[in-house]
Chains A and B, each alone.
Chain A
Amino acid sequence: MAISQRAARALLLGPAGLWYAGLLVLPLVVVLVYSFGERGAAGGYAPAFTFAQYANLGARWTAFQNTLLLAPAGTLAALLIAYPLAYFLAVRVRERWRTLLLVLVIVPFWTSILIRSYAWIFLLGGRGIPHLLAELGMGDIRLINTPFAVLVGIVYGYLPLMVFPIYVSLEKLDKRLLEAAGDLGAPPWRSFLQITLPLSLPGVATGSMLVFILLMGEYLIPQMLGGGKVFFVGNALVDLFLQSRNWAFGSAMSVTLVAVMLVTVTLYMRFLKRIGAARDDVGLM
């Protein structure tokens, strides 16, 4: 039975379309409407039209600041650790070890991030690493409930998400290009910089984007390793909905977070495009 082009399109896009309309677009509209409202008398939402919630955003500046510092820092740290690992796995490891090593990268995912974060509470707590450092004569070092602890937690938690896209782009790399570069007299560092690195950029871009976007909305790790002191926007949001019950302000903050994310992601895409264009120039040289 043949179906028309139109029916095929409807069939292909229908499920996802309904899903996104009902569970993404509609809730976003509700959030947008609420963000112009007021806090109800006992908390919650009361209808109104005011910009007061947006005017009050400054009161959560620190949460935005923490997020906008630690999300990129976490992404960068994850990238710096993941790239050499992915390179090693894709280029240096012999075939028969590769699968095993790749599985080892995924193994942590077999346990919930919640449990793994608890492990970090013990490792970074007074009886963990700081105790060890004190024994080595490094003095009174506090790690748990600091921005550093949160950074460690997020890099640890998101590392595999960075490793895999980079691995895939390196693994696809046409090795003949490297041989050709060698034949033409390029030293290894040069062929890495001019061939391997540019060709792996799509993987870097995907991995960074995955990690960065998830980090912007992170809640659990700052909550557990920050002791309620290192607040991300996600934590401030949970607080507004589940403690101080100011849904209007919470909605305004959500809308702002979405806006900030759209802007940063757009800027990042542009930046990547420019690099991509530069790469093409390099290719022609």
Chain B
Amino acid sequence: MKNDETPITRQKFMEELRRYQKGSVTRRHFLGVTGLGTAMAVLGGAMPMLHPGRALAGDIGDRVILATWPNYHDPENFEIFREQTGAAVQVNVFGSNEEMLAKLQAGGSGWDVFVPTNYTITTYVEADLIEPLDLSKLPNYDASAFEARFADAGTVGGKLYAVPKNWGTTGMSWDSSKAKAPFTSWKEFFDVTMGDFSGRTIVHDYQLTTIGNALKYFGYSFNSIDPKELADAEKLLIEVKPHLFAITSDYQPPMRNGDAWLTMCWTGEGKQMNRDMPEIQFALGKEGGEIWSDYYAVPKNAPHREAAYALINFLIDPQVNAREALAHGFPVADARVNALLPEELLNDPILHPAADLLDALEFGAAATLTDPNRAELMARFKSA
């Protein structure tokens, strides 16, 4: 799993360091993935003429910049992409759609590909921040292979702006060796946080899920922008804050090393932790919560536009995408990929929850992204 040309992110570095500390990876692996032991190779990576694939690459350039979420790719695939095309994938990791929108609004993000969630795409189109996809450059995209509810949001005003990456849910993960009973609801999530789990809970640094799940505590819609309901959610969050371990969307390291016992959690990450440490379990809140679908999109004025299309086309190739899914554990909406995945992954209760639990979930609504009250509520909660 060497990936010398991709600069390691802070989150990734820490995760690897913790893995190394736990002894679950070798020193050699740690030095390899972090690049600490391969400084020479990294230096080499900075010099495009040394890349072996360069001559075959045609003209897509020597790099492509991808803005994505934590723990959401198989680094080996990026290495294969570099070997095939000569373009090294530089990964920027973000913890919220708001952060991605802010970077694009400010201009000059330098991204070629990014990974927006369903409910944000209309806003990007209205703000003229993303371009309609040129399907002739994406031969691996087959619209008929996708389940409609996970692909619809990519089309705005009859034009395709984004192709589906993965879908999933937002639930909670906890350390079952510390919990008296399994978690089943957002009510329990917040109540236990203020009780037995004081100082051990993480909420996302992300307005949609943190506010949304606090709204579910009261039985309101996950997407509410009603001022009275938001006021209730704020009161709960402020009351809970002293009992939190942290407000962060990169919750795996503290969950894995035992500092935190309970966290809001995206499906695939719940799966990743459960796979390595079976005592970490995952469940949805029975009141409901979020179901989501992420997409690949290309920002306007992407500096390496050709490489952007090449990377998306590569990542939605069913073979490549199946490797991605095996590594990160998030469900895929592409039937061609699911045909390649092992049965147990497709029947996994974490990834594919029972239908009655899924029915209670809501897709995020565009209004939550732009609503000033939700944005300010989150900011007030964090600085409280």
Q: A residues touching B (Cβ–Cβ < 8 Å)?
A: 39, 41-44, 59-60, 62-63, 114, 118, 121-122, 125-127, 142, 144-145, 227-229, 231, 235-236, 239-246
Q: Which 3 A-B pairs have the closest CB atoms?
A: A227-B246, A228-B247, A244-B375
Known: A42-B126, A145-B245. A231 touches B105 (CB 8 A): no
Q: How far is the CA of A43 from the CA of B375 in the complex (A)?
A: 9
> Do B258 and A229 touch across chains, with their CB atoms under 8 A apart?
no
Known: A62-B383, A235-B383. A228 touches B14 (CB 8 A): no
Among B207, B246, B259, B370, which residue has its beta carbon within 8 angstroms of that of A229?
A: B246
Judged by DSSP, the binding face of A is mixed
> Do B99 and A63 touch across chains, with their CB atoms under 8 A apart?
no
User: Is B140 an interface residue, CB under 8 A from the partner?
Assistant: no
> Do B10 and A246 touch across chains, with their CB atoms under 8 A apart?
no
User: Is B35 an interface residue, CB under 8 A from the partner?
Assistant: no
Q: How far is the CA of A41 from the CA of B372 in the complex (A)?
A: 8
What chain B residues lie within 8 Å of A114 (beta carbons)?
10
User: Is B384 an interface residue, CB under 8 A from the partner?
Assistant: yes
What chain A residues lie within 8 Å of B207 (beta carbons)?
243-244
* Chain B residue nearest to A127 in the complex (CB): B257
Chain A nearest CB from B68 CB (Å) reads 17
Q: How far is the CA of A104 from the CA of B194 in the complex (A)?
A: 45
What chain A residues lie within 8 Å of B10 (beta carbons)?
114, 118
Q: How far is the CA of A228 from the CA of B260 in the complex (A)?
A: 14
> Do A39 and B372 touch across chains, with their CB atoms under 8 A apart?
yes
What chain B residues lie within 8 Å of A121 (beta carbons)?
14
Q: What are 15 A-B pairs at a CB distance below 8 A? A: A42-B370, A43-B102, A59-B376, A63-B383, A118-B17, A127-B258, A227-B245, A227-B246, A228-B248, A236-B383, A242-B102, A242-B103, A243-B102, A244-B376, A245-B102
Interface residues on B, range: 35 or more
Known: A62-B383, A118-B14, A125-B257. A246 touches B248 (CB 8 A): no
1/0 contact trace for B369-384 toward A, CB 8 Å? 1101001101110111
Q: How far is the CA of A126 from the CA of B17 in the complex (A)?
A: 15
Give the number of residue pairs across the A-B interface with Cβ within 8 Å: 101
Q: How far is the CA of A145 from the CA of B17 in the complex (A)?
A: 19
Chain B nearest CB from A219 CB (Å) reads 13
Q: How far is the CA of A118 from the CA of B254 in the complex (A)?
A: 13
Among A43, A59, A63, A231, which residue has its beta carbon within 8 angstroms of that of B370?
A: A43
Among A126, A227, A245, which residue has its beta carbon within 8 angstroms of that of B247?
A: A227
Q: How far is the CA of A145 from the CA of B102 in the complex (A)?
A: 26
What chain B residues lie within 8 Å of A246 (beta carbons)?
372, 375-376, 379
Chain A nearest CB from B139 CB (Å) reads 34
Q: How far is the CA of A142 from the CA of B201 in the complex (A)?
A: 13
* Chain B residue nearest to A39 in the complex (CB): B372
> Do A239 and B379 touch across chains, with their CB atoms under 8 A apart?
yes
What chain B residues lie within 8 Å of A127 (beta carbons)?
21, 257-259
User: Is B13 an interface residue, CB under 8 A from the partner?
Assistant: yes
User: Is B62 an interface residue, CB under 8 A from the partner?
Assistant: no
Q: How far is the CA of A243 from the CA of B376 in the complex (A)?
A: 9
> Do A62 and B257 touch across chains, with their CB atoms under 8 A apart?
no
What chain B residues lie within 8 Å of A118 (beta carbons)?
10, 13-14, 17
What chain A residues lie within 8 Å of B241 (beta carbons)?
229
Chain A nearest CB from B299 CB (Å) reads 15
> Do B259 and A126 touch across chains, with their CB atoms under 8 A apart?
yes
> Do A125 and B383 touch across chains, with their CB atoms under 8 A apart?
no
* Chain A residue nearest to B379 in the complex (CB): A244
1/0 contact trace for B79-108 toward A, CB 8 Å? 000000000000000001011011101100
Known: A42-B370, A142-B199, A242-B103. A231 touches B375 (CB 8 A): no
What chain B residues lie within 8 Å of A245 (beta carbons)?
98, 101-102, 105, 375
Q: Which residues in window 143-190 of B have CB below 8 A to A?
A: none
Q: How far is the CA of A239 from the CA of B382 in the complex (A)?
A: 9
> Do A60 and B383 touch across chains, with their CB atoms under 8 A apart?
yes
User: Is B43 an interface residue, CB under 8 A from the partner?
Assistant: no
User: Is B355 an interface residue, CB under 8 A from the partner?
Assistant: no
Q: How far is the CA of A121 from the CA of B13 in the complex (A)?
A: 13
User: Is B123 an interface residue, CB under 8 A from the partner?
Assistant: yes
Q: How far is the CA of A43 from the CA of B102 in the complex (A)?
A: 8
> Do A228 and B258 touch across chains, with their CB atoms under 8 A apart?
no
User: Is B33 an interface residue, CB under 8 A from the partner?
Assistant: no
Among A42, A144, A231, which residue has its beta carbon within 8 angstroms of that of B259?
A: A144
Chain A nearest CB from B208 CB (Å) reads 11
What chain B residues lie within 8 Å of A229 (beta carbons)?
241, 244, 246-247
